[in-house]
Amino acid sequence: MARFEFFPRICIALGFADPEALLDHARREAEAGETFFEFRLDYLERPEQGIKVLKSFLERHPEGAVLAACRRRANHGSFTGTVEEQFRVLEAAVKAGAAAVDLEVESAEAAPPRAEALRERARLLLSHHNYENTPALEPVLRRLMRIPADGYKLVTTARKPSDNYRLLALAKAHPRVPLVLMAMGEIGFPSRVLSVAYGALHTYAAPAAAPGTAPGQVSARQLRHLYRLDRLAKTAKVYGVIAHPVEHSLSPAVHNRAFQSRRLSAVYLPFLVPPTQLGDFFRLAEQLPLAGFSVTIPHKQKVMRHLDVVDCLARRIGAVNTVWRKTGRWRGANTDTDGVRLPLERRLRLAGASILLAGNGGAARGAAFALTDAGAKLTIVGRNLERVRALARACGAEALSRDALGSRHFDGLIHATPLGMFPKTAECFFPDRIPADVVFDMVYNPQETTLLRRAREQGKTVIPGLEMFTEQAARQFEIWTGETAPRAAMERAAREALLRLAQPIMSS
């Protein structure tokens, strides 16, 4: 009988109220090449229905390994029966072919002989779940290890970024103990990827066409192809993006594709960092340690107080979007400026060019300094004239009210407001005539905004926002790795990620 360490690194978590749906999704995953499955029998109205499904599934897919679970409601499962009835369900699952069972420590403590009898017939994964927070973990592990098992599973809820490392540190402290470790919730997502690199037995994934059984689960395809979990080594360098929210960031798709293209042992993860937890994130960054990370809303300004060195341009802009560690010191820069300057330089000579900048927020501020430093004659327009004037004074530009645009015309236009961004895609800063020959929209979702469509219709040269996103990401990659960025691969990854965001999630 296979030991847990010989099972795959990814277990597909299947929890469905309908036995036919359970069988259908298990078969879909098996046909996609997956071989390790958790059957959550407690999700079914009658768990015994799952025994028939399990047997039918293994008859058709004998290469599959099933981990059976029937968690009681007292332990945040759905099974309403007694501990005795729970054991009977799990024993029936083993008889039907389950290679392993997941049993809560509370049930094992209530009936140690029954737990030992289960272990004689299948691998026993003893589990503890905390749906409130991440408590002191050593006492929990000691409690679990009082009962002999083939693996010990500790699942907590991440309330702050450093909770991820507390779980990973447990694996480092107990390298000979067979552990499954992860933190639930979006803040805890990094633990789902990194735990196996730190020696955990496996992690859990949601089925491709349905939700998972716990918050934070993603599909096996994402784990394998985006984060390359099967090949992730403990020595791999870890990068990421910090944001709030972070779920729809394109950066993981773009940077992981870049690492793959250059065959680098590295992974790039999304880190959800609430506004009040930036200091805690830096504790995590030191402990992992992180080699570098991208910074976006709402942390671009506040991150500067945590850095040892900030380059001159980023300090003038007052915002950092790129952080890395060198000689033990955290350093910051702003590559958004390259994202603005380089695409424009491919279409026109910036020195002496007349450029209109629409916007006065953070994105506009980076663009303003990049353009004036390149020698452009910059004019700034926006909805808030007072803020427009303040930005113009800071970078030596001309301030202009929207009413004063009139018959003015410019070599280039940069749009740096949220107008036209998904989901309000019909909005446009310029309702009719667009006063420039080259039109650059920093909005990249959708890929063709109303502004760009109108610009094409008026015969303008257009620059989509995705080009800026790719260029600033490419510069980040080069700062972090010292290698030339694979720009074409990164742009393809960004386009693919945007298409996925635009597609509705398949229903079960």
- Cβ atoms of residues 21 and 29 within 8 Å: no
Active site residue 326: no
Let me know how many helices (H) and strands (E) the chain has, helices first. 18, 20
The enclosing H or E element of 314 equals helix 312-317
Distance CA 57, CA 64 (A): 9
- Cβ neighbours, 10 Å, residue 182: 28
Distance CA 339, CA 245 (A): 22
3-state DSSP: the chain helix, strand, coil percent, rounded to 5? 40, 20, 35
DSSP per-residue letters across 107-139: HHHH-HHHHHHHHHHSEEEEEEE-SS----HHH
- Cβ atoms of residues 350 and 344 within 8 Å: yes
Q: Which residue out of 55, 95, 160, 300 is catalytically annotated?
A: 300
Distance CA 126, CA 395 (A): 62
Q: What is the DSSP letter of 157?
A: E
Distance CA 332, CA 239 (A): 14
Distance CA 379, CA 358 (A): 9
DSSP per-residue letters across 44-102: SSSTHHHHHHHHHHHHH-TT-EEEEE--BGGGTSSB-S-HHHHHHHHHHHHHTT-SEEE
In degrees and rounded to multiples of 5, residue 99 shows phi and psi of -80, -20
- Cβ neighbours, 10 Å, residue 401: 12
Question: Closest Cα partner for 220 from 243, 244, 203?
Answer: 203
- Cβ atoms of residues 99 and 66 within 8 Å: yes
Q: What is the DSSP letter of 507?
A: P
Give every CB contact of residue 300 below 8 A, 6+ residues apart in sequence: 319, 320, 321, 362
Q: What residues are annotated to the active site?
A: 300
